[in-house]
Structure 1
């Protein structure tokens, strides 16, 4: 039995919009792959003692110890420059751009349409890659980081909403995981490309991906839900496309249109009807607030569990920092792909509970290993990264967009993204502050992980296979 037209069209749309996620993921991972080499090749830093054969640094054939070039530790004191601090500032500029992108482009998506907003994002996406090619001095990378961050903010604020609105209930979870999967694939690709062909050609390939995103999305309509609410003239084309209804199947189209119209009427008038067509009470502000808090908690889990910090600590667990980072990306890629395969079979809630609990247990084991058996713990570290990826980093936006009332979904997601990004510097600095107080940050993150596991077990509704209306009802 072949794949139905509706299934094919929904998967094609999700894959197409997430080409932008691949581009952003590659840009996000570029600094780790490219920045140390950029520093080591800077003519202003040519007198660095820790880099072998500085005089011939621009002669690739004379570079015999590539690991030393990529090892950030070997250039930590380059001309009184703290490499970790520079990368930290560049990440903060990226976060600033993400806040701007989430707020501005999230608003534009609500005002002008999800598809138009995503098409517009091709401009900053391509511009950021052009800057990678043109910028020769790392001191100007902050400009590129802000522009790249705005693309990421758009991805976070617009793509989950678009997919939730256009996907059928049976595919909503799988298609929702395409965004984090695309970003992780992008991070993996850029490391391979940068190693094999250098940053210039790698950036050119990413520009080609952005152009492919533009060309394909031009032929894919906006979500039926958005068009029904704001542009009813185009809703027929969209509904027929995503539900696989041919022009001759008018009866089926009228059925689907009636469902969509009733659903959107609920959003506008604040009432819905039961099976006897009797009015039922509105989605209350209290329910919307509950959904917002739960969704924000799921998104904030990346920070509360210390998952973001674990990526920064890879160089402490591996002899070679670059090799360690690549292994971390592979573990995250496997975890994200596992979530894609399991989300509609196992469910969102079990995956998320296993993820938070797994990260908590992993952190405790790492603490024990570091204290009583001071040796490398690469396997346990990578397993913890994998467990975090099967839920914490993959299902956050899927769950948040599903449980939030549709009319408030876009605004709530923008606020959640902005707040979580603004809190990022606090949690990024927390391990260093606690280290000065002689307190293990991993212990705090492990406790947060276990607390989140308990709270999600008590209050998080399962959304697998449910319609948006059924999900809203479960928040009572």
Structure 2
């Protein structure tokens, strides 16, 4: 695949409104404004265009979060209505991880052949069918089928949304916009917690359909990823898509040439990626960093902490578990929103180090609290104080997780993977993330039954290791184009 160097007139950039019909742009057809408009106006137009695209695809992560949060408020009523045992409900909850692993395997190839928008449309369909199956379920078979379908769609969404956002965002906004992915996940979780207090589990399943029902038609009004179009050799569509995203009055010549050179350089190597190619530093290093961050994200035990939070709250004298759970969801949303604001100001590495360090201290506080509880009387004042300290540790752990280790690994993965291996490597990284998530979810009850203090100590050690991993291996990507990031690995 090669790209011809074209002038503005030869490339069709002078008449962009015709190609816009193929990009799904909502911009009206009219005469171009004067080229004398200031650069600040062009930047503002670009920010609005990209933000609108991000807000639309963010419906996918909201669906992701809603799926994760659905089981918490519905466990008692759903188990009672369908006469499920504890083990049957546990299987129901974990099947989303199994489905997500299958979706992760398929996500990279679907995104490469169908495009980022097409991949999201495909992901939305099993989610809708899965929620309908759960809402009409009369026994566990329909529940299981629906949960697997939801997980399959979520596995695809978890890969393609960060990639799409990273590929359309300008370099000065990519960190904040990339964090919208995780922010939307936390909003989806909190919505499931909150709505689950007021509606039945069947109605809550029906409400779970709404994000995807809105997402599918909305995708027709946003442009495809210009980098994917460039890779596929669709030169005119690629330039038209980029012009939509950057604004009509923005000169995109430099960015167009950078993307063309990057794609042409990639295509001059072998046509298809082979596992032998992964021995090259420009491939194995970003792959190791991307996989490492996503695996460490789950090994931190965040799912185990959330699983045990109700017991910790009860030990501290907090009787309303539903209110406490909603409160935890609100903490995650607020902390992730702060991370979104800080991402392009402080950088990725410093936030990851602060996040991992804060998680280690918080988890150590929980571990020490549980160890000391074994040496004091349950009715004593000290026991109550230790319970409060464990609650502070749990809240602190989730706050620091949302500040960095929640959103940034997905953002880093979408930024550093070279376009040639993005499909294969992205699928592998997403698959391992979901597999470790499933392992932690399944082993957390066993570890906590063995020793609560010991379990949280293990999670603390992982967070300390994460600090070292980030300090040694993870590069700072703030303010760099995707092409500059990939060049730095060669």
Whether these two folds match at TM > 0.5 is yes
1:286 aligns with 2:281: yes
**Contact 2:61 / 2:188 at 8 angstroms: preserved in 1?**
yes
**1:18 aligned residue:** 58
**Distance change >3 Å, CA 392–CA 475, structure 1 → 2:** same
1:268 aligns with 2:271: no
**Distance change >3 Å, CA 88–CA 40, structure 1 → 2:** closer
Aligned-residue offset at 1:241: 0.9
**1:454 aligned residue:** 468
Q: Deviations over 1:307-349 (max 9, x none)?
A: 1211111111113432332222122112211111111111111
SS in 2 for 1:169: coil
In the aligned structure 2, how far is the partner of 1:338 from the partner of 1:466? Answer: 22
SS in 1 for 2:407: coil
**2:480 aligned residue:** 466
**Contact 2:299 / 2:436 at 8 angstroms: preserved in 1?**
no
**Distance change >3 Å, CA 465–CA 117, structure 1 → 2:** same
In the aligned structure 1, how far is the partner of 2:207 from the partner of 2:259? Answer: 40
**1:428 aligned residue:** 441
Aligned-residue offset at 1:270: 4.9
The correspondence of residues 131-146 of structure 1 with structure 2, limited to 5 A, is 131-138=133-140, 140-146=142-148
Pick the aligned partner of 1:240 from 231, 238, 243: 243
**Contact 2:162 / 2:414 at 8 angstroms: preserved in 1?**
yes
1:198 aligns with 2:200: yes
**Distance change >3 Å, CA 175–CA 219, structure 1 → 2:** same
1:4 aligns with 2:3: no
Q: Which runs of 5+ in 2 are unaligned?
A: 1-39, 271-276, 315-319, 373-381
**1:110 aligned residue:** 112
**1:309 aligned residue:** 304
Q: Which runs of 5+ in 1 are unaligned?
A: 45-77, 272-281
**Distance change >3 Å, CA 387–CA 244, structure 1 → 2:** same
**2:174 aligned residue:** 172
**Contact 2:258 / 2:483 at 8 angstroms: preserved in 1?**
no
In the aligned structure 2, how far is the partner of 1:255 from the partner of 1:109? Answer: 26
In the aligned structure 2, how far is the partner of 1:243 from the partner of 1:382? Answer: 40
**Contact 1:90 / 1:141 at 8 angstroms: preserved in 2?**
yes
Aligned-residue offset at 1:204: 4.0
Equivalenced residues, count: 424
**2:408 aligned residue:** 395
1:226 aligns with 2:225: no
In the aligned structure 1, how far is the partner of 2:477 from the partner of 2:47? Answer: 20
Aligned-residue offset at 1:264: 1.6
**Contact 1:307 / 1:385 at 8 angstroms: preserved in 2?**
yes
In the aligned structure 2, how far is the partner of 1:310 from the partner of 1:88? Answer: 17
**Distance change >3 Å, CA 138–CA 335, structure 1 → 2:** farther
Aligned-residue offset at 1:469: 3.2
**2:24 aligned residue:** none
SS in 1 for 2:267: helix
Aligned-residue offset at 1:121: 2.3
**Contact 2:78 / 2:201 at 8 angstroms: preserved in 1?**
no
Aligned-residue offset at 1:256: 4.0
**Distance change >3 Å, CA 169–CA 270, structure 1 → 2:** farther
**Distance change >3 Å, CA 118–CA 434, structure 1 → 2:** closer
Aligned-residue offset at 1:144: 1.1
**1:276 aligned residue:** none
Aligned-residue offset at 1:293: 1.1
In the aligned structure 2, how far is the partner of 1:355 from the partner of 1:177? Answer: 14
**2:353 aligned residue:** 353
In the aligned structure 1, how far is the partner of 2:120 from the partner of 2:474? Answer: 30
In the aligned structure 2, how far is the partner of 1:456 from the partner of 1:122? Answer: 34
1:187 aligns with 2:189: yes
In the aligned structure 2, how far is the partner of 1:442 from the partner of 1:149? Answer: 28
Q: Deviations over 1:277-302 (max 9, x none)?
A: xxxxx998123111111111111122
**Contact 1:314 / 1:328 at 8 angstroms: preserved in 2?**
no
In the aligned structure 1, how far is the partner of 2:215 from the partner of 2:442? Answer: 36
Q: Name the structure, 1 or 2, with higher relative contact order (CA <8 Å, separation 6+).
A: 2
TM-score by length of 1: 0.83
Aligned alpha-carbon RMSD (Å): 2.5
**1:214 aligned residue:** 216
**Distance change >3 Å, CA 220–CA 437, structure 1 → 2:** closer
**Distance change >3 Å, CA 213–CA 437, structure 1 → 2:** closer
Aligned-residue offset at 1:21: 1.4
TM-score by length of 2: 0.80
**Contact 1:327 / 1:382 at 8 angstroms: preserved in 2?**
no
**Contact 2:294 / 2:429 at 8 angstroms: preserved in 1?**
yes
1:374 aligns with 2:379: no
**Contact 1:363 / 1:446 at 8 angstroms: preserved in 2?**
yes
SS in 1 for 2:144: helix
In the aligned structure 2, how far is the partner of 1:230 from the partner of 1:262? Answer: 14
**Contact 2:60 / 2:161 at 8 angstroms: preserved in 1?**
no
